[in-house]
Amino acid sequence: MVKIKLNGKVIEVKKGTRISDLTSNKEVFAAQLNGELYDLSAHITQSCDMELIDFSTEQGKKIYWHSASHIMAIAVKALFPKAKLAIGPSIDQGFYYDFDIEKPFSPEDLEKIEKKMAEIIKQDIPFERIIMKKEAAIEFFNKQNESYKTELVKEIDDDELSLYRNNNFVDLCRGPHVPRTGSIHAFKLLSLAGAYWRGDVNQPMLSRIYGIAFPTHDELNDYLKKIEEAKRRDHRKLGSELELFSIFDEAGAGLIYWHPKGTIIKKLTEDYWIKEHNAVGYQMISTPHIARGHLWRRSGHYDFYSDSMYTLPVENEEYVLKPMNCPGHILIYKSKIRSYKDLPIKYAELAAVYRNELSGTLHGLLRVRGFTMDDAHIFCRPDQIVQELTNVLKLTLTILRKFGFEKFNIDLSVRDIDKKGKYMGNDEEWERAEQGLISALKRVNLAYKRQEGEAVFYGPKIDIKLLDALEREWQTTTVQFDFNLPKRFNIEYMDRDGRHKEVVVIHRAIYGSLERFIGCLIEHYGGAFPLWLAPVQVVVMPITNKQDKYAEKVYKKCLRRNLRTELNEKSEKINYRIREAEVKKIPYILVVGKREIENKTVSVRKRGKGDMGEMNLKEFFKLTKKEQGGDN
């Protein structure tokens, strides 16, 4: 007999009992035993803590979606026998599978694949786990002419591998999976894309199919509605329609050209950031775009990021176009001896940085090669850690809420204590850093999820992922300790006892990348920015040219009130011009005609509310001032 702790109770079962024998819940399709995921068909061989997994859990979604990707692969192989299998993982929202196929898939092919998937699901074929010796697996996939699978098998160090079989279909997979194909109830294939094998432009281009699956059709339909709304909010589409930014092929992929209206949003975002940072003791600095290569070797970036760095020769010496700002900030700190009384020192910079991202990963403003990082480094004493981290989190919440974000998911990434050799810093430093992060999160009452083994090698961190209007996650803020740079650069301060001591360095970025943050803002608001952030806040329209002179007076008075205003005196009919301003998502339209001139008023139309009636300019300015929180 073995003891199982399940749902808070301890039960005894025979050794070798199947997990499936312990539940009659049809929504459960996997289990976690002592932290390891298993199929329901697995046998229990030792006492353990057990958690039953369904779609409501993060692990459950990944298992469900990964199982759906296998079903899609079965369908593709049935319809296109010569297609070669690459990889088919679950992703944040759904799944994909990459195939090497002579002719790229068409939308018509997707319909055929969906139909075949429905047949496979109806057949309710079991997922069977197979254990195979590595050499046997290589031989098997070679016979199947699955060269990508053979390549993957060769790279696995284990002597035995797990595969999954559905009738005649066999795929290399760690698992687990749902018990049967019939466990997948509602699905949809969403889109097609090209993807290089392993993201390498020198490797073959594969055909990728994206999909989604849910336990119920209602959940699927709700998701598809959100997808349609997301398409309407796509920042690339709105960026073009609202004349915010462009990416020009002739100039280079991943490089953003901000138009006047986009530049206004970027400048407002920067100015607000600077104002808030100045108010809490940060000092603004500015560092060059390039630095000598040896600086990046000393920092360690060259060893870990060289593939993502742009290098250039300068007088027979290698320079680097900076991918980040840490070394520059450190040089300024080290420009003189610092006393314990000087700390904390907080340097902040809105800096353009450049990273050589693969072309296949670039995506509008969200993934670029040149971007503005809202970077800051806090140099402090150990006894200041918790307070400084608390201050960072408070500042973060202030800034994100200013832009309309109220919901967040927070990860605390810590080291894997069983693999301490992978990380810099000693136990005392890691414990102090982790407890500092936890204490700060508790002080500001932020719930978090602990992510074991997800810390970077040089320190633990907090990642804040904001949720937009569609409940989508966006990675923005990172607060991170660094045990690497203080040692590499001998960053010290003179303590009260006259001894030099190592400084604690905290990296932090709140927007993360201005480009990515603004891309997120565009989609969050669907281009309809709040008044304070709108590039054009007011447009003034005379009904006919007889009101042009009065309209111009109104326009100039709006400008004097620092409202970003346009005057539309075009010859088109007023209804056409109103519609044009609404499409451009301008917050306020001021219409003036004969009656408005006589009454010395304006007719106000507000975005999303329509006609608000007549009011004098004093009333209108009071309205806009209140809406902007007194900024106007």
Q: What are the tens digits of pLDDT across the range 473-529?
A: 888 999 998 888 898 999 999 999 999 999 999 999 999 999 999 999 999 999 999
Residue 392: closest CA among 487, 464, 290, 300: 464
Residue 66: closest CA among 203, 174, 196: 174
Quote the Cα angle for 214-217-223, to 5°.
Answer: 65
**Domain spans in the chain, listed from the N-terminal domain onward:** 2-53, 58-233, 277-523, 538-627
Percent of the chain with pLDDT over 70: 100
The pLDDT assigned to 631 comes to 52
Q: Does domain 58-233 have CATH number 3.40.630.30?
A: no
Q: Please, what is the average pLDDT of the chain?
A: 93
The pLDDT assigned to 304 comes to 74
Instruction: Name the CATH superfamily, with its identifier, for domain 277-523.
Output: Bira Bifunctional Protein; Domain 2 (3.30.930.10)
The pLDDT assigned to 308 comes to 87
Per-residue confidence band for 544, with pLDDT thresholds at 50, 70 and 90: very high
pLDDT surpasses 90 at 629:
no
Cα 379 to Cα 326, 351, 603: the distances in Å are: 12, 19, 55
**What is residue 93's three-state secondary structure?**
coil
CATH topology of domain 538-627: Rossmann fold (3.40.50)
pLDDT surpasses 50 at 113:
yes
Per-residue confidence band for 66, with pLDDT thresholds at 50, 70 and 90: very high
Question: How many other C-beta atoms are found inside a 10 Å radius of the C-beta of residue 195?
Answer: 18
Query: Rounded to whole angstroms, how far apart are CA atoms 600 and 592?
Result: 9
Query: Rounded to whole angstroms, how far apart are CA atoms 47 and 156?
Result: 29
Query: Rounded to whole angstroms, how far apart are CA atoms 311 and 322?
Result: 9
Residue 69: closest CA among 48, 86, 46: 86
Per-residue confidence band for 632, with pLDDT thresholds at 50, 70 and 90: very low
Give 402-415 pLDDT, tens digit per residue.
999 988 999 999 98
For the entire predicted model, the pTM comes to: 0.83
| Sign, CA torsion 421/424/426/427 | negative
The pLDDT assigned to 533 comes to 97
Burial of 214 (0-12, 13-18, 19+ CB in 10 A): buried
Query: Rounded to whole angstroms, how far apart are CA atoms 32 and 39?
Result: 9
Characterize 623-632 residue by residue with b for buried, 16 or more Cβ atoms within 10 angstroms of its Cβ, and e for exposed: bbeebbeeeb
- Matching CATH number, 2-53, of 3.40.50.300, 3.30.360.10, 3.30.750.200, 3.10.20.30: 3.10.20.30
pLDDT surpasses 90 at 463:
yes
Give 293-329 pLDDT, tens digit per residue.
999 999 888 877 788 899 999 999 999 999 999 999 9
